[in-house]
Amino acid sequence: MAQKPSIPKGTRDFSPMEMAKRNYIFDTIKHVYQLYGFQQIETPAMETLGTLMGKYGEEGDKLLFKVLNSGDYLSKITPDELAERNSLRLAAKLCEKGLRYDLTVPFARYVVMHREELQLPFKRYQMQPVWRADRPQKGRYREFWQFDGDIVGSDSLLNEVELMQIVDTVFSRFGVRVQIKINNRKILTGIAEVIGAAEKIVDITVAIDKLDKIGLDNVNQELREDGLSDEQIEKLQPIISLEGTNDEKLNTIAEVLATSETGLKGVEETRFILDTLKTLGLKNEIQLDLTLARGLNYYTGAIFEVKALDVQIGSITGGGRYDNLTGIFGMPGISGVGISFGVDRIFDVLNALDCYPKDATNGTQLLFINFGDKETAYCLPFVAKAREAGIRTEIFPDSTKMKKQMSYANAKQIPFVALAGENEMSEGKLTLKNMETGEQSLITIDEIIQTILA
């Protein structure tokens, strides 16, 4: 009995209709990036584990898909090592490569390897799949696409402002209401300093980044397990639950961080970004959220996250400033800032809200019916002419029953069908049928082209 085919959990097939929708998403984001002078690159699906490991924190390292070495991969493993069954130690010897976890670390590696070719500041966009060995659930996949934009080689906060404009423009074009959340890792570092837990900054940010998912009590419990005292956790509570306008929050946190130079620098950077964006008339709300932590270790300044307001789903875009990511690859001092659009979640949001324009999912516009060899030979030049005019055109390949060919047109939602029999050929014309209204007319191919393109 043949094995029933399947795909790995957390992965998906996409139908032609779904791909039309996804291409609409890709094309929209790509066009906005290009408006701001970004250029496209691609990097391999696999990177060396040396490139990937240690860049995403301990939790991120656990989610890396490792690729088994080819050939006799057991030749370097001793019987004692096999008997020990230490999976982490075995993986280190059995695997030299891994599937990329995101597009930012491979981009940093790209910048270092190609630094002589790049004109700084370098603005790149990249749309490719990434993989994470996560537990699949609604809105969370093991294979998914990201669409990143990064600017490296510039410390200017105008880059952060520009990226927020890009986010606002993209979701405005999609017709999706979003809330753009902003924070700054320097503010979080300052908070850790003033509560006397500077060495716990990573633990603190990883924990409070989970606030929306696990709730305040569980966040506090995780902080307790990470070694923070009850007094330190108590000092965090008013900061985590801070309310008011963006300006009010900044004024309050500036008072709290008065003794932290790093924290005040974060307040200053955030104020500049928010004040500048006020003058640019964003269509979507931008909110300072001190619980936004984004646990990735490489963020050093502003951090961003975007939530859809009308659909219950996780973050659909995120990013931030990283001041020395390329330093780990031997090129210190290169600052960068970037964002990543979560294409798969955006796809789910647009489906839930039915935000696709009609022409985004249209396939074939015109189908020529096949009545036989003579009729097909008559139609083929017209098929070519319609395509030259930019009309998506098919001719049915088999001279089968007309009912079957019409069913094909209906199933694919093709709006126009062209027919040619003895009468049409004798007049050098075609019968054009509008599949929505049922109207038919005997006209020339030029008139058909004008009708469809009108």
Between CA 275 and CA 351 the distance in angstroms is 34
The two structure tokens encoding residue 81: 């090592």
User: For residue 70, which of 94, 37, 105, 98 has the smallest C-alpha distance?
Assistant: 94
Give the H or E element holding residue 419. strand 416-419
Which candidate, 239, 250, 264, 243, places its Cα nearest to that of 186? 264
Pick from 272, 265, 374: which is nearest to 323 by CA?
265
Structure tokens at 377: 């030979």
> Beta partners for 321?
337
Supply the pLDDT for residue 220. 87
pLDDT number for residue 235: 80
Kindly report the CA angle at 64 between 60 and 67, in degrees rounded to 5? 165
Phi, psi for residue 375 in degrees, rounded to 5: -65, -40
One-letter amino acid identity for 9? K
pLDDT at 232: 86
Contact by Cβ (8 Å): 397, 424: no
Chain centroid, CA 58 distance in Å = 23
**157 contacts 265 by C-beta, under 8 angstroms:** no
Please tell me whether residue 123 adopts helix, strand or coil conformation: strand
C-alpha angle 149-150-155 in degrees, rounded to nearest 5: 150
From 240, 246, 252, select the one nearest 271 (Cα to Cα). 246
Beta bridge partners of 197: none
SS (H, E, C) 20-37: HHHHHHHHHHHHHHHHCC
Structure tokens at 276: 């500048």
Three-state DSSP class for 181? Answer: strand
**CA–CA dist 302, 244 (Å, integer):** 20
Give the DSSP H or E segment for 427.
helix 422-427
On whether the CB atoms of residues 343 and 379 are closer than 8 A, the answer is no
- Dist CA 125 CA 348 (whole Å): 22
Supply 372's token pair: 């036989």
Cβ atoms within 10 Å of 4's Cβ, excluding its own: 5
- Order of strands, edge to edge, in the sheet holding 430-434? 393-395, 366-368, 416-419, 430-434, 440-443
pLDDT in tens, the chain (454 residues): 778 999 999 999 999 989 999 999 999 999 999 999 999 999 999 999 989 988 887 788 889 999 888 877 777 777 777 777 767 677 777 888 999 999 988 998 999 999 999 999 999 999 999 999 988 887 688 999 999 999 999 999 999 999 999 999 999 999 999 999 999 999 988 988 888 877 777 777 778 778 778 888 888 898 888 888 888 888 878 777 778 999 999 998 898 899 999 999 999 999 999 999 999 999 999 999 888 877 556 788 999 999 999 999 889 999 999 887 788 788 888 889 999 999 989 999 999 999 998 877 778 999 999 999 999 999 999 999 999 999 999 999 999 999 999 999 999 999 999 999 999 999 999 999 999 999 999 999 999 999 999 8
Of 436, 431, 429, 434, the closest CA to residue 419 belongs to 431
For 70, residues 6+ apart whose C-beta sits below 8 A from its C-beta are none
DSSP string, 185-241: HHHHHHHHHHTT-GGGHHHHHHHHTTHHHHHHHHHHHHHHHTT--HHHHHHHHHHHT
Q: 165 by DSSP, 3-state: which? A: helix
pLDDT at position 216: 84
Greatest Cα-to-Cα distance within the chain, rounded to the nearest angstrom: 94
Structure tokens at 205: 């940010």
pLDDT of residue 297: 64
Position 296 scores a pLDDT of 55
